[in-house]
Amino acid sequence: GGKERVLVVQTGGTIDKDYPKVTHGWAFEICDPAAPDILSRVFKDFEVEVASVCKKDSQEITDEDRQAVLQVCRETACTKIVVTHGTDTMIETASVLGRAHADGVLRGKKIAVVGSMKPAKLVDSDAAFNLGVAVGALWDGEGVLVCMGGVPRRWDAVARDEETGMWKAKL
């Protein structure tokens, strides 16, 4: 028995950025994963586990990092997984996971790749909303989704508008 478990896989990105600890520092730094902190504030019917793969801006994420995310998703007993990720290359990471799922490697698992446009530490961040959409999407079927802008979309059916930066259905 016990409660269902959701695994949060951290890769970094804006969602986990915080003000620098160094005096006179201006750039945000990627810190501890924001998702468990956000989820600790809500009444929920599941437990949260965390695996940190890396703490990078998504433009710095390598193929090796993506394979490490895939390995964590493959090896965990959890069937519900949230991957927190920087927005610039989240579709690429979702594609690696989505192709693996299509090949049967992640059978029975539901994975939601999610991030935010503003750090979770900021009051007006979209992080908690996006995370809520991602977690909610885990309870239906299996496969890999990108959850941004309030809409869960299949990894192979999502695109980013180059001009606005918003997520949309891929035509």
| pLDDT at residue 21 tops 80 | no
Give the Cα separation of 89 and 38 in Å (integer): 23
Are 49 and 8 within 8 A, CB to CB? yes
Is residue 15 within 8 A of residue 88, CB to CB? The reply is no
Q: How confident is the model at residue 18 (pLDDT cuts 50, 70, 90)?
A: confident
Of 17-31, 106-120, 136-150, minimum mean pLDDT range:
17-31
pLDDT for position 29: 85
pLDDT of 129-142, one tens digit each? 999 999 999 999 99
Q: What percent of the chain has pLDDT over 70?
A: 96
Q: What is the pLDDT of residues 66-97, one digit of tens each?
A: 999 999 999 999 999 999 999 999 999 999 99
Single pTM value for the model: 0.94
Query: Are the beta carbons of 83 and 58 closer than 8 angstroms?
Result: no
pLDDT band at 24 (very low <50, low <70, confident <90, very high): low
CB half-sphere exposure, 35, CA atoms < 13 A: 31
How high is the pLDDT of residue 22? 67
Tell me the pLDDT tens digit for each residue of 105-126: 999 999 999 999 999 999 899 9
pLDDT of residue 19: 75
CA distances from 29 to 32, 35, 40, 121, 139 (A): 10, 16, 22, 12, 32
Output the pLDDT for position 98: 98
31 has pLDDT over 90: no
Here the tokens at position 3 are 């409660």
- Residue among 80, 76, 113, 79 nearest 98 (CA): 113
